[in-house]
Structure 1
Amino acid sequence: MANESDQDFYNRADAIIELANTHISDSSRGKASASLMYANSRFAAWVSACGCRNAEELAAAKQQAVDYFVEEFRLMMEENLTDYIENFSLYMNPKQD
């Protein structure tokens, strides 16, 4: 997962979330989330392919890549759900100034 000192990691994530949020008004949270997950999987497939010399090599590495990305997503999802549980009132009912 992200290195805690890599603020750019969080800045990139925030920028992508901001873009996804712009699609909620003409769609829904669920549809925006599904599109974001598809885009992430498509990008991860491209990253995986970039590390291979040919289709055969990519095919041989397919399960390892799937396992890696699924496990990383699971860890990040658990971390973020825990954060939302611990900060539910703050995140879901922010005070209006």
Structure 2
Amino acid sequence: MSTEENLFDDEFVEATNKLIEIANEMGAKHGEHKMGVAFIYAAARFNAYIAASSVTSADELSGKRDKAVEYFTDRFRKLYDGNLMDYIANFEEYMGVAQSEQSETAH
């Protein structure tokens, strides 16, 4: 679980976009909030599997639990904050505010 790994290559972006595409489809069907929580749960479940697959016993996993929780929660916090900052910087573009304002003034 090295924090030095470079994950943001083309393969990473492709996988991320596919996961977001699936979340958007499911969000349209079941609601965005529910899918947001489902996405977090799925990430937590999958990453618990990643942590478990890196050891050979439950005792070893238990011994590494605190470090794994710290790693994944820190990673989530940094990625989430970075994405929120991106949305703040690009709010009008991402959320279509400029387009909807133009539409309102055109009528």
Distance in 2, Cα, partners of 1:93 & 1:69:
32
Question: Which is greater in Rg?
Answer: 2
CA offsets, 1:38-73, max 9 Å, x none? 000000000000100110000100110000000000
Instruction: Structure 2: state its 5+ residue gaps.
Output: 101-107
Question: Which range is displaced more, 3-12 or 80-89?
Answer: 3-12
Equivalent in the alignment of 1:55: 58
How far does the alpha carbon of each residue in 1:59-97 deviate from its partner, in whole angstroms, 9 at most, with x for none?
A: 10011000000000000011000000000000000759x
SS in 2 for 1:24: helix
What TM-score results when the alignment is normalised by the length of structure 2? Answer: 0.82
1-side partners of 2:7 and 2:28: how far apart? 32
Mapped partners of 1:4, 1:56: distance in 2: 29
Partner of 1:3: 6
Greater fraction helix: 2
Which residue of the other structure, out of 17, 22, 25, is the alignment partner of 1:19?
22
Partner Cα separation in structure 2 for residue 5 and residue 45 of structure 1: 21
Q: Which one-letter code corresponds to 2:22 in the other structure?
A: L
Match of 1:84 among 83, 87, 104: 87
Amino acid of the structure 1 residue aligned with 2:51: S
C-alpha separation between the residues in 2 aligned to 1:83 and 1:33?
18
Return structure 1 stretches of 4+ with deviation > 6 angstroms. none
Deviates more, 1:7-16 or 1:74-83: 7-16
TM-score, normalisation: structure 1: 0.90
CA distance in 1 between counterparts of 2:58 and 2:7 reads 35
What is the number of residues matched between the two proteins? 96
The corresponding residue for 1:41 is: 44
Output the CA distance in 1 between the equivalents of 2:44 and 2:65: 13
Asked whether 1:75 is paired with 2:78, we answer: yes
Query: CA separation of 1:4/1:63 partners in 2, compared to 1, >3 Å: closer, same or farther?
Result: closer
Aligned counterparts of 2:48 and 2:85: Cα–Cα separation in 1: 28
